[in-house]
Amino acid sequence: MDGTIIKEHIKKYGGHFGNIIKINKLKYILIYFDNENDMMNAVYKSGMEYEIGKGPNYDKVEDFNNFSDRIIEINGNQEPI
């Protein structure tokens, strides 16, 4: 099963298989890339596929706005640091 998943990811993102790392019962695939450009393309492609269909996360935006308001309250109408 792991071999199939690894082959799919290598085919999808390019690079070379390095190792499988297990952290807190989750498995991660370590992939080596030939250059920085290939790595950045894989990161971008992976992020775009993960985010498609989710839409904006309004909860995170609201949390950020609440945090910014709290900093302004603490600093007394000054710009946040």
Residue 20 has pLDDT above 70, yes or no: yes
* Averaged pLDDT, 40-49: 79
Q: Percent of the chain beyond pLDDT 70? A: 58
pTM of the model: 0.49
> Is the residue at 14 inside a domain?
yes
> Is the residue at 61 inside a domain?
no
> Is the residue at 6 inside a domain?
yes
Query: How far is residue 36's CA from residue 68's CA, in Å, rounded to a whole number?
Result: 35
> Is the residue at 11 inside a domain?
yes
Question: How high is the mean pLDDT of the chain?
Answer: 73
Query: How many domains does one find in the chain?
Result: 1
Residue 40 has pLDDT above 80, yes or no: yes
* Averaged pLDDT, 53-79: 59
Dihedral sign (CA 12, 14, 16, 19): negative
In the chain, the amino acid numbered 12 is K
